[in-house]
Amino acid sequence: MAMVGLFWITDDAVYIGAEPAGTASGVRLSQDGVEVLGRNAGTWSWAEVCGIEVADVAVRALPQRWVSQAVDVVTSALTGGGELPPPFTVRVTTADGSVETDAYTAVAGGFYGPTEYELSRTLLARLVDGRTALDDLLQWRRDRAGDSTPAREEREALMLKWTGGGEPS
């Protein structure tokens, strides 16, 4: 598995946020469609999905993230840590209405950079409207079997490629 933007990519699925464990909430994207796991569970084909939006995502510029990570390390050392990563909201919209659930941040430190976040939003829109194929993300992961999450610059370059080189929305 590897994290790119808001996405946790496995060999056969892409999760928005971290892959949920147990009964945790999350959103799984597969060739068959979109599946909300945990709270407000449901499954829709890609043809049924009109939009996927994210909200409440922790976004900070690089210097702010370094300060936050330093504070987190000190706090964790003093308190013993063990907290879940911060959640954010994912809203799946169909012709029948919207369903909201939580997803957990997959990025180390819990904060996304502004560029990576905006590219992730653009990529979500392109996955929904079919301009980007989910298989592009899955094939990238299969080609990198055993590799871990790439560096921020490579993640942003990948998302630019997957979004057709367009600017973030």
Domain spans of the chain, in order of start: 2-151
d(CA 125, CA 6): 13
N- to C-terminal Cα separation, the chain:
27
Average pLDDT of span 46-66: 82
Average pLDDT of span 108-123: 91
Residues pairing with 7 in the sheet: 4, 16
Q: What is the pLDDT of residue 77?
A: 42
Are 113 and 152 in contact, with CB atoms under 8 Å apart?
Answer: yes
CA dihedral sign of residues 137, 139, 144, 148 = positive
pLDDT at 62 over 70: no
In the chain, what percentage of residues exceed pLDDT 70?
Answer: 84
A 10 A CB-CB count for 52 gives 18
CA dihedral sign of residues 155, 122, 22, 43 = negative
* Closest by Cα among 123, 126, 86 to 103: 86
Three-class SS state of 76: helix
- 63 contact partners, CB below 8 Å, separation of at least 6: none
Are 26 and 85 in contact, with CB atoms under 8 Å apart?
Answer: no
How far is Cα of residue 2 from the mean position of the Cα atoms in its chain? 11
Q: What is the pLDDT of residues 72-81, one digit of tens each?
A: 444 344 444 5
Q: What is the pLDDT of residue 136?
A: 94
Which has the minimum average pLDDT: 32-36, 62-66, 154-158? 62-66
Q: What is the pLDDT of residue 162?
A: 95
d(CA 36, CA 44): 9
Q: What is the pLDDT of residue 111?
A: 87
Q: What is the pLDDT of residue 60?
A: 86
pLDDT at 95 over 90: yes
Q: What is the pLDDT of residues 7-28, one digit of tens each?
A: 999 989 999 999 998 889 999 9
For the chain, the 3-state helix, strand and coil shares in percent, each to the nearest 5, are: 35, 30, 35
